[in-house]
Structure 1
């Protein structure tokens, strides 16, 4: 059987590393080949036809030649470049965070089509939220200092990415005894993989409020478009974020570079942690 010498695929650019004087190694997320690395030759030259189509977070149609060690990008055409997302430092950093998560969790050359489509959906949602935020601020000067929608989007992505790579968080039943969790003060353990009932409180690493567990459950069982657009207070958003951070940190055994940058941007915009009034009861 003759070996395939080239192939075409759509891809999201997750990462770039300079190589030599003019080349780059790009890390790509594809629907059928999973996460792959490829060489983009001459892409750093001002005259390169590939450069604009291989920017970080770009969704592009690529033609690649099979190489001995790394495949080579021979053609590229940008399908979506998410300009509104990239015009907002916060939303762009959220996109970089999603890309770093995918890069950390996925092994190369393992098909993860659901992760690819999840990533694409989240980039489109971030782009839409960035556009809406910019429009509202231009029209009436209002903005959400807590970035509520995009923060919920990050938590949604984290939960569903963990599920896709075999680490589905336990938010319906106790992660230790498997008893159904009731609407009461429960706890949480990253080492056990989720929420812990009061009977197993000796395994708690932190308490988990009724509202936080409810939000996590909704995010886990819903399609993104069906997630309510809550206005959550800062303390609840922080509680949910800490739960997911603990889970991610446990599985990755390291910190993510973009996490600290997101925290810095959030504190710059909302240094006092002011909460928005609730418009929908949990």
Structure 2
């Protein structure tokens, strides 16, 4: 049987899970190979040189060899550690939510260049921004677009009438905005003028510009609801848990635990150094 040559690919580490006593299975997202599961051998050992190169929510260059059932990481070079994501609870929460969406929507051995660039751009912005939630919302709109579920915001999805900012509804199952007449007939959830304008602005603006927009609590809650329903519509049949809201709550718990663990480790190191 001919020997399969190792693969080299750039990838973002979406997540990892333990394997045995010393190894981890890393879920990588590659622009040319889509979602790849690969074993990182020995990375749970204290002196592992590879462990720092396969951290979740980091970008690297990887060598992969085909094993019996999974790839094996033969070497790894960290390109972007994005340490700011790991040091801040809110950034970690939003980054995990974006990684979860990519994880769910990507197949193995599938070209994913556009989505890879979107995730990379969003994580880079997330590492620098003071508005992590805004970056994740910007990512979500473009993710929906790439999945073929771009919300219609210019014309009523039921009667095709042009819509202004007032009196509209929003119906993800129908594909977007509902005009005042159709909304008055019982179609769609209320779409307030501020959120309607914000959705349009986010659609045409850069992530940096979107992150500068201040959103009050009521508009923020409404916007999250509409985006969540749109995501559930887009990922119907591919969701691994009951709702995206539960995933966000789980991501926040993981994010807080990760930041807490990192802080505790740093304190322990400082304590040992002081002894």
Q: What range is the shorter-chain TM-score in?
A: 0.7 to 0.9
Kindly indicate whether the alpha-carbon contact (under 8 Å) linking 1:96 and 1:258 is maintained by their aligned counterparts in 2.
no
Distance 1:86 1:192, change over 3 A: same
Equivalence for 1:198: 180
Output aligned runs, 1:228-239, within 5 Å: 229-239=212-222
Deviation at 1:34, TM superposition (A): 1.4
Kindly indicate whether the alpha-carbon contact (under 8 Å) linking 2:157 and 2:177 is maintained by their aligned counterparts in 1.
yes
Aligned to 2:15, the other structure's residue is in SS state strand
1:210 and 2:198 aligned: no
C-alpha distance in 1, partners of 2:200/2:214? 17
Count of aligned positions: 246
Output aligned runs, 1:1-282, within 5 Å: 4-129=4-129, 133=130, 149-201=131-183, 202=185, 204-227=187-210, 229-253=212-236, 254-256=242-244, 257-261=246-250
Equivalence for 1:271: none
1:106-157 CA-partner distances (Å, limit 9, x unpaired)? 222221111111111111111102xxx5xxxxxxxxxxxxxxx222211111
Bigger CA drift: 17-26 or 247-256? 247-256
Distance 1:213 1:26, change over 3 A: same
C-alpha distance in 2, partners of 1:200/1:44? 58
Question: Structure 1 stretches of 5 or more lacking a match?
Answer: 134-148, 266-282
Deviation at 1:100, TM superposition (A): 0.8
Deviation at 1:69, TM superposition (A): 2.4
Distance 1:19 1:262, change over 3 A: closer
C-alpha distance in 1, partners of 2:33/2:12? 12
C-alpha distance in 1, partners of 2:45/2:119? 29
Distance 1:32 1:203, change over 3 A: farther
C-alpha distance in 2, partners of 1:94/1:127? 11
C-alpha distance in 2, partners of 1:96/1:218? 25
Aligned to 1:176, the other structure's residue is in SS state coil
- The CA RMSD measured in Å over matched residues stands at 2.2
Aligned to 2:182, the other structure's residue is in SS state helix
Moved >6 Å (runs of 4+): 262-265
